[in-house]
Structures are given as C-alpha cells and as structure tokens.
Homo-oligomer: A and B are copies of this chain.
Amino acid sequence: MAEGTVAADQLRLFIERIERLEEEKKAIADDVRDVYSEAKANGYDTKTMRAIVRLRKLETHTRQEMDALLETYRSALGLR
C-alpha cells in the first residue's frame, strides 16, 4: 500500500474522531437547553438562572486567577 494512502487514512481517522467529539459536544449542549426548559416548566425564570450560572463561573475564574497570580509572584520572586 502506498504511503500517500496511509497518510490519507490517518488524516481521515483524525477528522472522524473530531467530528464524533463535536457531535457529543452538541448533544450535551442540547441537554443543557433541556434542563433550562424543564426548570422553566417548573416556574423558574431562566434569565435569572443563566445569570447565576454565569456569576458562579466568573467567581470560579476569579479564584483560579488569584491562585495563578500568587504562583506568578512566587516564581518572579524566586520563592519555592
């Protein structure tokens, strides 16, 4: 079998793995939508919920960034 074919097959496999993963990702995104719909059906305000999720994510990021900054300080000051 020619080398070109091997390479083409390998590339094809990479592409297919990516496409499979992206399908999974989309499926999960749909699940998220479903949860919001279910919450809405139970009388919750989705706009508020989205704001809460966003805020909590932001707080997590801030916390992680603070830790990272501390690490950066240590490195910059040569502490260990």
Copies in the complex: 4
In the complex, what distance in Å separates the CA atom of A38 from the CA atom of B4?
Answer: 19
Flag if A52 contacts B35 (CB, 8 Å): no
Q: How far is the CB of A66 from chain B (nearest CB, A)?
A: 6
Q: Interface residue tally of chain A, by bracket?
A: 35 or more
Flag if A38 contacts B14 (CB, 8 Å): yes
Flag if B48 contacts A72 (CB, 8 Å): yes
- Fill in one digit per residue for A1-39: 1 if any B CB lies within 8 Å of its CB, else 0: 000000000110011011101101100110110011011
Flag if A51 contacts B24 (CB, 8 Å): no
Flag if A54 contacts B65 (CB, 8 Å): yes
In the complex, what distance in Å separates the CA atom of A10 from the CA atom of B32?
Answer: 16
